[in-house]
């Protein structure tokens, strides 16, 4: 029966493990010094060697003739563990054996001495799948197991493990394997299999594997079925990766804001059966390369691409701003998430490309407004903390609002108050405001509103609301939100109480008397 490559070429010794020297070197030194721990925790992403190192460790602690911390591979114990005849090494899948009863059975078995090996080794894969009750049942045994038992826990999601479990294990973190190391291993495997492969094709498979050696060998297995020689073009055809020339042309169209040209390229890729999710991922990776070129002094040391592709990416980086590149990555990632949730993939990709090609200044306007609001809040906090400036201090010249709210007369205000009814939809309006700016919407928290004729009267003890309403652009957005919620157009005003009007009249009269008396008043403003 044919054995897939990732099983056929699974490392049998620590020295064969690729890209995890921080783990293998430490384990070999511990075994040489006869300092094997009673519990290990191997964490890391998929395909990085956790299960492989677990099996090598199980052989090494039981090997009859170890060499420099590695198992010999030829003794009775090593061969028995490889072919599964040694029953003292038990591999448990926690995804399907995750109950309390399963752990209790394991605890009972652990009390028995090994039948033929020195240690009973329990390898629990995907240990984060255990239930809370199973973890609690395992806790005491994991802390003080019998002298002849070693636990090896492996997981891809260490954050799901209770801290009490993690603290009782010797933890080793497995890193993603670099594309260069993966490509070198793929070329070694192809040499053993008498299959020709170009270095560019090996790098392309390594990049698609995203740091997982098992994924890379699985992709290589698929490519070997396509023909005797593996080239960059055959890998793209088999894996469904967009040609980099198309990526360059697509990104160039985005840089030139040529939406029609970009849509045409997407259509060509779609007709060629290119997966739109994969295209989105490839575009994201390409924009990441441009981002690193603009942000780093020596990006060539990090990026895995040919010299010609690097030159083209560098030329595009000269045309694009870093802020636009970062925003583009966010748009592509959002589109990918929508496609995975069931959105039409071609339509979503075309929408993303159009957004990339269309300049959008609204985000800058919102950022500027948020900055002004933050400055206003800071000034208010300063006045609350320190009070108003002393009279002898230099007066602060403050510009009046560019477009103050036009207030009704006293008679009109009395009529509006009489006819006013509470606006029950006002909380929905505030939530709609938060959709385009959470900061602006927060300024209206706790406020209420009334409807009186053609007016919506806003009532709040927070002056920030009315500072925002004095801005023409903000008033327009407020009216748009009100129209979306109510279906009607209203004018905006401030709901004031009779005692407030009397207070304002008194302030106005006081200012007039001070002027008549010749007393300078530097900052007469509406307060």
* Unique residue bearing structure tokens 């492996």: 154
pTM for the whole thing? 0.58
Distance between CA 201 and CA 234 in Å, rounded?
Answer: 8
Q: What is the pLDDT of residue 515?
A: 55
Report the CATH number of the 244-357 domain. Answer: 1.20.272.10
User: How is residue 488 written in tokens?
Assistant: 């009607």
Does residue 416 contact residue 457 with C-beta atoms inside 8 Å?
Answer: yes
All residues at 6 or more sequence positions from 524 whose CB lies less than 8 Å from its CB, including other chains: 511
Comparing C-alpha atoms, which of 235, 231, 246 is closest to residue 276?
246
Low-confidence residues in the chain, pLDDT < 70? 1, 227, 240-243, 306, 359-372, 384-419, 496-527
User: Exposed, middle or buried: residue 34 (CB in 10 Å: 0-12, 13-18, 19+)?
Assistant: exposed
Domain residue extents for the chain: 5-174, 179-239, 244-357, 410-496
Report the CATH number of the 179-239 domain. Answer: 1.10.8.60
Q: What is the pLDDT of residue 331?
A: 92
User: Exposed, middle or buried: residue 36 (CB in 10 Å: 0-12, 13-18, 19+)?
Assistant: middle
Give the tens place of pLDDT for each residue, 115-167.
Answer: 888 999 999 999 999 988 888 888 888 888 888 999 999 999 999 999 999 99
Does residue 40 contact residue 153 with C-beta atoms inside 8 Å?
Answer: yes
Helix, strand, or coil (residue 266): helix
Report the CATH number of the 410-496 domain. Answer: 3.30.300.180
The backbone torsions φ and ψ at residue 525, rounded to the nearest 5 degrees and listed phi first, read -140, 160
Comparing C-alpha atoms, which of 456, 459, 457 is closest to residue 446?
459
Please give the C-alpha separations between residue 3 and each of 8, 82, 221, 480, in angstroms, as whole numbers: 6, 15, 10, 65
Q: Which fold has domain 5-174?
A: Rossmann fold (3.40.50)
Q: What is the pLDDT of residue 508?
A: 54
Q: What is the pLDDT of residue 367?
A: 53
Does residue 304 contact residue 184 with C-beta atoms inside 8 Å?
Answer: no
Q: What is the pLDDT of residue 244?
A: 72
Please give the C-alpha separations between residue 412 and each of 80, 310, 400, 501, 527, in angstroms, as whole numbers: 96, 70, 25, 13, 21
Pairing assessment for the beta strands 421-422 and 229-230 based on DSSP bridges: unpaired
């Amino acid at each position: 029966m044919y054995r897939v490559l990732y099983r056929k070429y699974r490392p049998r010794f620590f020295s064969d493990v690729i890209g995890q020297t921080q783990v293998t070197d430490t384990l070999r030194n511990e075994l040489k010094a006869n300092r094997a721990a009673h519990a290990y925790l191997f964490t890391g992403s998929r395909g990085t060697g956790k299960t492989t190192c677990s099996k090598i460790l199980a052989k090494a602690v039981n090997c009859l003739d170890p060499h420099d911390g590695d198992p010999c591979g030829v003794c009775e114990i090593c061969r028995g563990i490889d072919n599964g005849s040694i029953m003292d090494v038990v591999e448990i899948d926690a995804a399907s054996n995750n109950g309390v009863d399963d752990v209790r059975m394991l605890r009972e078995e652990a009390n028995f001495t090994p039948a033929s090996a020195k240690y009973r080794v329990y390898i629990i894969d995907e240990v984060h799948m255990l239930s809370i009750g199973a973890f609690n049942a395992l806790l005491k045994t994991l802390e003080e197991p019998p002298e002849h038992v070693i636990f090896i826990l492996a997981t891809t999601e260490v954050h799901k493990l209770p801290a009490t479990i993690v603290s009782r294990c010797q933890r080793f973190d497995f890193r993603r394997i670099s594309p260069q190391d993966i490509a070198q291993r793929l070329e070694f495997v192809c040499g053993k299999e008498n299959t020709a492969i170009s270095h560019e094709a090996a790098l392309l498979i390594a990049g698609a594997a995203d740091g997982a050696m098992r994924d890379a060998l699985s992709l290589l297995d698929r490519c070997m079925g396509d023909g005797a020689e593996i080239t960059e073009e055959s890998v793209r055809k088999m894996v469904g990766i967009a040609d980099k020339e198309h990526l360059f042309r697509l990104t160039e169209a985005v840089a030139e804001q040529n939406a029609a040209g970009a849509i045409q390229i997407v259509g060509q890729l779609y007709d060629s059966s290119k997966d739109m999710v994969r295209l989105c991922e490839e575009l994201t990776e390409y924009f990441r390369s441009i981002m690193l070129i603009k942000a780093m002094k020596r990006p060539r040391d990090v990026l895995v691409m040919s010299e010609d592709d690097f030159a083209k990416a560098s030329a595009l980086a000269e045309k694009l701003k870093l802020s636009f590149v970062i925003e583009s990555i966010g748009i592509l990632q959002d589109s990918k998430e929508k496609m995975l949730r069931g959105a039409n993939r071609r339509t979503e990709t075309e929408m993303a490309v159009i957004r990339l090609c269309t300049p959008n200044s609204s985000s800058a306007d919102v950022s500027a407004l948020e900055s002004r609001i933050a400055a206003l809040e800071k000034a208010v906090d300063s006045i609350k903390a320190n009070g108003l400036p002393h009279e002898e201090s230099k007066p602060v010249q403050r510009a009046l609002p560019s477009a103050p709210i036009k207030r009704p007369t006293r008679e009109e205000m009395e009529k509006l108050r009489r006819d006013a009814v509470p606006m029950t939809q006002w909380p929905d309006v505030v939530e709609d405001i938060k959709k385009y700016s959470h900061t602006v919407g927060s300024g209206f928290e706790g406020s209420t509103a009334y409807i009186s004729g053609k007016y919506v009267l806003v009532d709040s003890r927070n002056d920030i609301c009315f500072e925002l309403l004095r801005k023409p652009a903000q008033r327009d957005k407020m009216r748009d939100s009100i129209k979306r919620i109510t279906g009607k157009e209203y004018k905006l005003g401030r709901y004031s109480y009779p005692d407030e009007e009397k207070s304002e009249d008194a302030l106005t009269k006081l200012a007039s008397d001070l002027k008549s008396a010749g007393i300078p008043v530097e900052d007469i403003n509406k307060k």
